[in-house]
Structure 1
């Protein structure tokens, strides 16, 4: 993992145009969204397939592909691929918790990939493919830990190792930045598998279902 001192410096603004609306849902990528909408950032390997899985869930208001968790400001895809930004490929998920609970969303997240692989998913290798949950509320952070604790024993019973998923709040308890800013990816990455239906981006599920955490 690159250190802040060695990371690419980045820039002061996007080097490309970010689309205003979701190509499938028609909703704004950056808001405003209906009152009560919550946002969480999820990393589970290549964001093309991950984003498609998320936008199909009932209760999801919008999704977007992007970069987060690192140090380089306004990075490009090529820069993230070097491993010198510290960012991972992330999906912004804006959702209505009255329709889709945070717990159910996270159970889907865990079940869609292998969270034990460290800096990789399948043949995609590098820190930009690490598993991560970046919550924006204390309740989301609690749900992330609870579902992790429920899922790890199931994985171990099925021959998998410990979960390596990074769980860090977007803002720490004292209000200072945690994982930092979510940067939207380039236009062609947004809803990629809708624009390129035959595009290659497999979901690396373990086949193990995440149980409902005990109360």
Structure 2
């Protein structure tokens, strides 16, 4: 059964597992908590590029990225499990939270990695990983990020089409 807004899995009111605080590789906090706030200058953007584990590593290696974390975006079932997301009935995509200092790395540079490190033309898949959870997506948190994401899609799509990949599905 495929996801439609009329038949989502119900989800749950809270996370079904404990959430780690610190990033295992970077050592930075992956989420803000009262005794460990993030630096005020940080911005957050989320990217869906197929399986989140490989995508996360791309971003944690970029100077200026404060922290990364994997999770799910774009669905309507609250706090889904991996199995529920893989069922296709939550509406979620696997995504990577990227918290970054815009004085050290630009949103444009992060978007360049997004467009160049996966195939944004494959629709509900990425390589051999098939399903709606692997779709290409950008979830912005500021109006400037929204504008830059749209402009970058408009710039990359003609190049992808010329190279035989097809239209962007992000």
Report if TM-score (shorter chain) is over 0.5. Answer: yes
| TM-score category of the 2 structures, normalised to the smaller one | over 0.9
Q: Answer yes or no: is 1:27 the counterpart of 2:28.
A: yes
Q: Which runs of 5+ in 1 are unaligned?
A: 166-215
Gaps of 5+ in 2: none
After superposing on structure 2, the runs of 4+ consecutive aligned residues of structure 1 that deviate more than 6 Å are none
1:3 CA drift (Å): 1.5
Partner deviation per Cα, 1:142-167 (whole Å, 9 max, x = no partner): 000111111111111111110000xx
* Aligned residue number for residue 135 of structure 1: 140
- What are the equivalent positions in structure 2 for 1:1-215 lying under 5 Å apart? 2-31=3-32, 32-165=37-170
Q: Distance in 2 between matches of 1:148 and 1:100?
A: 19
Question: Displacement of 1:2 after TM fit?
Answer: 1.2
Please give the alpha-carbon distance, in whole angstroms, between the structure 2 residues aligned to 1:40 and 1:76: 22
Q: For the aligned residues, what is the CA RMSD?
A: 0.8
Q: Give me the whole-angstrom Cα distance separating, in 2, the residues matched to 1:86 and 1:156.
A: 27
Aligned-pair CA distance for 1:17 = 0.4
Q: TM-score with structure 2 length normalisation?
A: 0.95
Tell me, in whole angstroms, the C-alpha distance in 2 between the residues paired with 1:77 and 1:160.
29
- 1:164-206, Cα deviation, whole Å (9 max, x unpaired): 00xxxxxxxxxxxxxxxxxxxxxxxxxxxxxxxxxxxxxxxxx
Q: How many residues align?
A: 165
Q: Distance in 2 between matches of 1:58 and 1:157?
A: 32
Aligned to 2:110, what secondary structure does the other structure show? helix
1:40 Cα deviation from its structure 2 partner: 0.3
Equivalent-residue separation in structure 2 for 1:104 and 1:10 (angstroms): 35
* Distance in 2, Cα, partners of 1:11 & 1:122: 31
Q: Distance in 2 between matches of 1:123 and 1:26?
A: 32
